[in-house]
Amino acid sequence: MLLRISLIVAIVAGLGVAVLGYLEISDKIPALVKQRDDENAAKHVVINQLAITNRILVKTKSELASTQQELADTKSERDKAQAAADTAQHQVESLTDKLAKATLERDTAQNDLAAYKGTGLTPEQVGKLNHDLKDANAEIAAITDEKIVLQHVRDKLQARLDYYEKPNQDVMLPADLRGKVVTVDPKWEFVVLNIGEDQGLKDRGEMLVSRDGRLIGKVIVRTLQKDRSIANFVPGWELGQITEGDLVSPAHPAS
């Protein structure tokens, strides 16, 4: 009997402990559920941020690769322009030496001709000297023309080289350069000028546009030809409406 009572007491005590444990755990369940939900929400936020960061990283890598390629292309163009400018400079120097030599030969021939005429040479000898003098003059003229062409090429290559090495440097133009606007396209904001490379105009050269002594605007050369050019409006310089017949002069004249 005593054993049965002890068992009943033990069972009742166990049930009491179980009930107390259940009540204690049931009080903590909402807090645990909330903690779990908060952790899940934080995890999703971190996952979303990681995805955004990965997309930004991929875009940044792509832009970096594009920038590196553009830099390599620009360096290649600059090196080509430098090499071409050096070659043109060597050719000009060589022609200058030839011109000096041909000029010396011509002067020598002229002096010899004058001296020989005073010595009573035969007509055949005088004729040969005249022929030699004409050949020397013809060679000088040809070399001079070729030198002028090469100087134009050198100046053009130097302008290209300056564009890569000094993109913000003002392009200096002949102080007496003058021209006119022959065509205007206000929609696309460009004009056609009646002056070009032969008159001393250079690529990226800036020209002031005026009418009756009043400044109208400023344009910058984008396409250069021998005797004409195409220039775009320079933003911020629209002081009036540019029309055909307006005069243009250098914005940065060489002193």
Confidence bin at 1 (pLDDT 50/70/90): low
Query: Tens digit of pLDDT for each residue in 65-85?
Result: 777 787 777 778 777 877 777
Instruction: Walk me through the domains of the chain, giving residue ranges and CATH numbers.
Output: 12-169 (1.10.287), 179-250 (2.40.10)
Amino acid at 38: D
Indicate if the alpha-carbon torsion angle 198, 200, 204, 210 is positive or negative: negative
Query: Tens digit of pLDDT for each residue in 153-185?
Result: 666 665 666 555 556 678 889 999 999 999 999
For residues 25-47, average pLDDT? 68
pLDDT at residue number 123: 66
pTM for the full model?
0.42
For residues 104-110, average pLDDT? 81
Best CA proximity match to 175, nearest among 204, 156, 199:
199
Amino acid at 153: V
* Phi, psi angle pair for 246, to nearest 5°: -65, 150
Query: Tens digit of pLDDT for each residue in 43-69?
Result: 777 777 777 777 777 777 777 777 778
Distance, in Å, from the CA atom of 214 to the CA atom of 226, rounded to the nearest integer, reads 28
pLDDT at residue number 144: 73
Query: Tens digit of pLDDT for each residue in 9-26?
Result: 667 666 655 655 555 565
pLDDT of 124 above 90: no
Contact 95, 150 (CB under 8 A): yes
Least confident of 4-8, 12-16, 99-103, 171-175: 12-16
